[in-house]
């Protein structure tokens, strides 16, 4: 296939993708017309309340196009502007300023409206600064894999929400002591206007939100098409290496896009406050983020106009379900079905086209085992035995020195470790981001509770049935990732986690089948109601899961799925079936997660809706990334990190979230491989000392001493007459010094 035919094929694939997405958006728009109590007014309210979501989706698409990073902090970036707007309006700082300059001007009827709009303008000015701050933090991680930046946006979003809800209001009202935004100002615009649409009255704030979203769309499209910076953004999105070879500064392009994304986030939060008449600090729920991501997926992460249309369609769906059923929980389940169908109908890309998402996970380097030259050396054997003995002593002695309340938390960490191991299979081995892993935990907990309490199944059989149910559901959720690589499993799994929390665990729906209390039975003569006995049971099951994961890594399935992650076409050429191996990995991952959920239900003596929220799933993914994806010990180290987070509670009300975000970013900046990289770097230093002391030549340890790349440095190309030859960017090997200018040296004359 020549280059011209390849470009034609790629264009046809993109056109089919756009048509499929547009058809799904039109279908979603038609759903409210068949629901009861839904009419033209429903669409009007959907446009009004979907304007903020649409602006957020536009920011997500722009950031992804320029940086190939999913910005999970897009909604939270507007929290600062929303809180600042509310505080400026509530405290009337502009009125006090005018009173100090012109006391007789207080009677002017234009003073309060002017104060309102000036406060909105000043709050909007803070939005691009927040976007620039997020960009600067992510620049610290520019040498790390792309999924590390994605995790950093999750942590930064949590920190921004906490800062906007507690820290920023405390600056305006210190007597409140940094508490939550209890007395939000009335943010209804001071303009009396009502527009009747289908029996629904839209006020000025709602009409302004719709108009501002459409104007913002026109400005963004004009920026991308008619400005030099916009053309640079589109060139970077199309081919980053080609754009760099043409002299486009990628960092400058990304900074401009993050400024624009921050402005869109702040504008969305302010308009949402005007349309709703108030704000709660701009906090965002996982359900709102799912709507943003689903709209971005429907737009193919490329089309900004289609992204805004998809956001409007999903908002109309929300309003229709609320008008007909006074509940939007069913929409969460519908969103999961919509994104699943959209990804299954999405055409495959061109087989020879470079996929920037396909190479993301190739940098996930697994930790090397102890070199065979040193395994039988006496100091190494002693150190290994001492480490195993220390772990056994700690695990056995913990129940003897811990209070029952603390022991329950330690048991929960062991269960979280199992969830982390299930994430390791999907994220570390299969190369797929799963942000809804706790949804499978919720499925396992629900099935185990129903089987044990309602059907009186024995606990082992109920736990096994729950694990099998989780395996089946995991295969269904992972179906899109069998066809399309990249970020799509993250959106599908997060939508699934929100649907589980809203439908299966919700007390008004699936939660009606759950028992009020789930008692632990006696097992093999042991009373599991004893916290120590149940702790030992969970630890033993966790160790068995660790052994099973280690065995699977050495099996044909583990090697096949990792080969497919690194190079799917090459593995297929060698006769490996990576799709079948990926299905098996998804099934085993869901099995382990649901097994952990069943134990969690018995540990908590029931299934509580607040324990299975999608925010917990995001926290689990951050836990695994902090621990590291390079070894089986990574999720276990991550669970220890998660257990240490409550120590940050002494900082203040917003301390745990802000402190945890700071710690996470520092860990990822210093060690992109997580805590595993630090631990095994210390191990390699010890092995290197042993090798030097015993005069044993270990080439792998020498390579690690040379640098992070673990490769011997490549010598630069030299000219015949001396000096270093210039190497273009597209042919330059990463890690070598860049030569800006090379002096021309006259070649020697031949004799």
Higher pLDDT, 611 or 15: 611
For range 601-608, the mean pLDDT: 90
Residue 744 pLDDT more than 50? no
The C-alpha atoms of residue 149 and residue 135 are separated, in whole angstroms, by: 10
Asked if the structure places residue 253 within a domain, the reply is: yes
Which of 286, 309, 332 corresponds to the end of one domain? 309
Least confident of 394-408, 563-577, 721-735: 721-735
For range 484-508, the mean pLDDT: 83
Residue 738 pLDDT more than 70? no
Tens-place pLDDT, residues 50-86: 888 899 999 999 998 888 788 888 888 988 888 888 8
∠ CA 76-77-79, nearest 5°, is 65
The C-alpha atoms of residue 168 and residue 126 are separated, in whole angstroms, by: 13
Residue 716 pLDDT more than 50? yes
- Same domain, residue pair 518 and 458: yes
Average pLDDT over the chain, rounded to an integer: 79
* Residue 704: φ, ψ to 5°: -70, -25
**In the prediction, which pLDDT does 231 show?**
84
Tens-place pLDDT, residues 508-562: 888 889 988 898 888 888 888 888 999 999 999 999 999 999 999 888 888 888 8
Task: Provide the token pair at 270.
Answer: 């302010």
Which of 646, 678, 694 corresponds to the end of one domain? 646
Asked if the structure places residue 475 within a domain, the reply is: yes
Residue 266 pLDDT more than 50? yes
Higher pLDDT, 443 or 4: 443
Q: By residue range, what is the domain housing residue 739?
A: 714-751
- Same domain, residue pair 377 and 269: no
The C-alpha atoms of residue 583 and residue 564 are separated, in whole angstroms, by: 12
Q: How confident is the model at residue 385 (pLDDT cuts 50, 70, 90)?
A: very high
- Same domain, residue pair 292 and 370: no
Higher pLDDT, 350 or 702: 702
**In the prediction, which pLDDT does 365 show?**
66
- Same domain, residue pair 277 and 371: no
C-alpha distances in Å from residue 639, one per residue of 620, 622, 674, 724: 9, 10, 12, 49
For range 651-658, the mean pLDDT: 49
**In the prediction, which pLDDT does 328 show?**
73
**In the prediction, which pLDDT does 653 show?**
40
- Same domain, residue pair 599 and 748: no
Burial class (CB in 10 A: 0-12, 13-18, 19+), 337: exposed
- Same domain, residue pair 304 and 380: no
**In the prediction, which pLDDT does 262 show?**
93
Asked if the structure places residue 660 within a domain, the reply is: no
Asked if the structure places residue 328 within a domain, the reply is: no
Residue 647 pLDDT more than 60? no
Residue 5 pLDDT more than 70? no
- Same domain, residue pair 294 and 372: no
Higher pLDDT, 682 or 23: 682
Q: What is the CA radius of gyration of the chain?
A: 28
Residue the block writes with tokens 């002096």: 743
Higher pLDDT, 360 or 239: 239
Asked if the structure places residue 679 within a domain, the reply is: no
For range 642-670, the mean pLDDT: 64
Q: What is the DSSP letter of 21?
A: H
Q: How confident is the model at residue 98 (pLDDT cuts 50, 70, 90)?
A: low
Q: Which of 113, 54, 91, 41 is nearest to 271 (CA)?
A: 54
**In the prediction, which pLDDT does 651 show?**
41
Which of 629, 646, 663 corresponds to the end of one domain? 646
- Same domain, residue pair 470 and 583: yes
Q: What is the DSSP letter of 516?
A: S
Half-sphere exposure of 700 (CA within 13 A, CB side): 11
Q: Which of 195, 223, 198 is nearest to 209 (CA)?
A: 195
Burial class (CB in 10 A: 0-12, 13-18, 19+), 432: buried
Number of H helices, E strands in the chain: 28, 4
Higher pLDDT, 20 or 528: 528
**In the prediction, which pLDDT does 355 show?**
45
For range 357-374, the mean pLDDT: 66
For range 591-619, the mean pLDDT: 89
Q: Percentage of residues in the chain with pLDDT exceeding 70? A: 80
Asked if the structure places residue 456 within a domain, the reply is: yes
**In the prediction, which pLDDT does 710 show?**
46
**In the prediction, which pLDDT does 743 show?**
41
**In the prediction, which pLDDT does 354 show?**
38
The C-alpha atoms of residue 602 and residue 459 are separated, in whole angstroms, by: 9
- pTM value is 0.83
Structural domain count of the chain: 3
Neighbours of 585 (CB within 10 A): 27
Q: How confident is the model at residue 727 (pLDDT cuts 50, 70, 90)?
A: low
- Same domain, residue pair 641 and 723: no
- Same domain, residue pair 303 and 364: no
For range 357-376, the mean pLDDT: 68
**In the prediction, which pLDDT does 232 show?**
84
C-alpha distances in Å from residue 564, one per residue of 21, 25, 175, 560: 28, 33, 58, 6
Residue 691 pLDDT more than 70? yes
**In the prediction, which pLDDT does 362 show?**
46
**In the prediction, which pLDDT does 649 show?**
46
Q: Which of 399, 315, 282, 256 is nearest to 53 (CA)?
A: 315
Residue 442 pLDDT more than 70? yes
The residues pairing with 201 across neighbouring beta strands, listed in sequence order, are 196
- Same domain, residue pair 391 and 271: no
**In the prediction, which pLDDT does 661 show?**
73
- The CATH code of the domain that includes 377 is 1.10.3470
Asked if the structure places residue 79 within a domain, the reply is: yes
- Same domain, residue pair 558 and 488: yes
For range 418-435, the mean pLDDT: 87
Tens-place pLDDT, residues 461-475: 999 999 999 999 999
Residue 421 pLDDT more than 70? yes
Asked if the structure places residue 738 within a domain, the reply is: yes
Please, which residues have CB within 8 angstroms of residue 622's CB and are 6 or more apart in sequence?
A: 151, 154, 155, 664
**In the prediction, which pLDDT does 16 show?**
59
Tens-place pLDDT, residues 275-320: 877 664 444 577 788 888 888 888 878 888 888 888 888 888 888 8
């Amino acid at each position: 296939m020549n280059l011209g035919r390849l470009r034609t094929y790629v264009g046809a694939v993109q056109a089919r993708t756009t048509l499929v997405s547009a058809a799904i958006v039109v279908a979603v728009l038609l759903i409210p017309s068949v629901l009861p109590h839904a009419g033209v007014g429903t669409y009007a309210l959907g446009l009004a309340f979907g304007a903020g979501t649409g602006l957020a989706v536009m920011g997500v698409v722009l950031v992804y196009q320029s940086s190939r990073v999913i910005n999970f902090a897009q909604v939270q970036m507007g929290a600062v502007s929303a809180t600042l707007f509310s505080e400026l309006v509530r405290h009337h700082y502009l009125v006090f300023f005018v009173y100090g300059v012109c006391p007789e001007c207080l009677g002017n009827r234009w003073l309060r409206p002017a104060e309102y709009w000036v406060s909105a303008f000043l709050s909007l000015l803070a939005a691009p600064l927040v976007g620039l701050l997020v960009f600067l933090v992510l620049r610290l991680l520019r040498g790390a894999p792309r999924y590390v930046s994605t995790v950093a946006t999750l942590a930064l979003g949590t920190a921004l929400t906490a800062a906007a809800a507690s820290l920023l209001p405390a600056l305006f009202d210190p007597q409140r002591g940094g508490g939550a935004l209890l007395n939000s100002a009335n943010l209804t615009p001071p303009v009396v206007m009502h527009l009747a649409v289908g029996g629904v009255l839209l006020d000025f704030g709602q009409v302004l939100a719709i108009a501002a979203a459409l104007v913002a769309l026109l400005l963004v499209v004009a920026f991308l098409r008619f400005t030099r910076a916009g053309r640079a953004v589109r060139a970077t999105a199309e081919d980053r290496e080609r754009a760099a070879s043409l002299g486009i500064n990628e960092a400058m392009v990304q900074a401009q896009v993050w400024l624009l994304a921050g402005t869109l986030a702040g504008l969305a939060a302010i308009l949402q406050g005007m349309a709703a008449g108030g704000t709660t600090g701009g906090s965002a729920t996982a359900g709102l983020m799912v709507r943003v991501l689903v709209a971005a997926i429907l737009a193919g992460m490329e089309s900004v106009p289609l992204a805004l249309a998809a956001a409007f369609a999903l908002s109309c769906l929300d309003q229709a379900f609320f008008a007909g059923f006074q509940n939007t929980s069913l929409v969460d389940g519908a969103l999961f079905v919509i994104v699943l169908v959209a990804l299954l109908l999405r055409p495959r890309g061109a087989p020879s086209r470079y996929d920037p998402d396909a190479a993301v996970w190739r940098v996930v380097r697994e930790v090397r085992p102890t070199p065979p030259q040193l395994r039988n050396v006496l100091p190494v054997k002693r150190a290994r035995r001492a480490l195993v003995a220390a772990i056994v002593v700690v695990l056995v002695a913990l129940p003897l020195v811990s209070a029952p309340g603390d022991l329950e938390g330690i048991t929960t960490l062991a269960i979280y470790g199992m969830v982390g191991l299930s994430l390791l299979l999907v994220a570390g081995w299969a190369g797929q981001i799963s942000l809804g892993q706790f949804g499978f935990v919720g499925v396992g907990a629900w099935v185990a509770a129903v089987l044990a309490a309602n059907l009186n199944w024995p606990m082992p059989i109920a736990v096994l049935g729950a694990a099998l149910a989780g395996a089946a559901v995991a295969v269904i959720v992972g179906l899109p990732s069998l066809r399309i690589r990249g970020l799509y499993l993250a959106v599908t799994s997060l939508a699934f986690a929100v649907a589980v929390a809203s439908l299966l665990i919700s007390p008004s729906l699936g939660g009606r089948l759950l028992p009020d209390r789930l008692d632990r039975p006696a097992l093999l003569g042991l009373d599991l109601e004893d916290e120590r006995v149940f702790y030992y049971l969970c630890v033993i099951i966790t160790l068995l899961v660790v052994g099973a994961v280690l065995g699977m890594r050495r099996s044909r399935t583990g090697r096949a799925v990792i080969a497919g992650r690194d190079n799917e076409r090459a593995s297929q050429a060698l006769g490996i079936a990576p799709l079948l191996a990926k299905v098996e990995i998804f099934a085993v991952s869901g099995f382990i997660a649901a097994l952990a959920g069943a134990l969690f239900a018995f540990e908590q003596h029931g299934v509580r809706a607040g324990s299975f929220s999608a925010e917990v799933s995001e926290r689990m993914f951050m836990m695994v990334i902090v621990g590291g994806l390079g070894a089986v010990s990574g999720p276990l180290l991550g669970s220890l990190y998660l257990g240490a987070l409550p120590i940050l509670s002494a900082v203040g009300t917003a301390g745990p979230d802000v402190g945890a975000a700071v710690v996470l970013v520092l860990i990822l900046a210093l060690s992109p491989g997580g805590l595993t990289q630090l631990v095994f770097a210390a191990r390699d230093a010890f092995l290197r000392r042993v090798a030097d002391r015993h005069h044993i030549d270990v080439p792998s340890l020498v390579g690690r001493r040379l640098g992070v790349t673990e490769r011997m440095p490549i010598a630069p190309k030299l000219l015949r007459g001396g000096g270093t030859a210039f190497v273009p960017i597209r042919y330059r090997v990463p890690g070598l010094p860049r030569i800006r200018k090379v002096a021309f040296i006259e070649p020697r004359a031949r004799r």
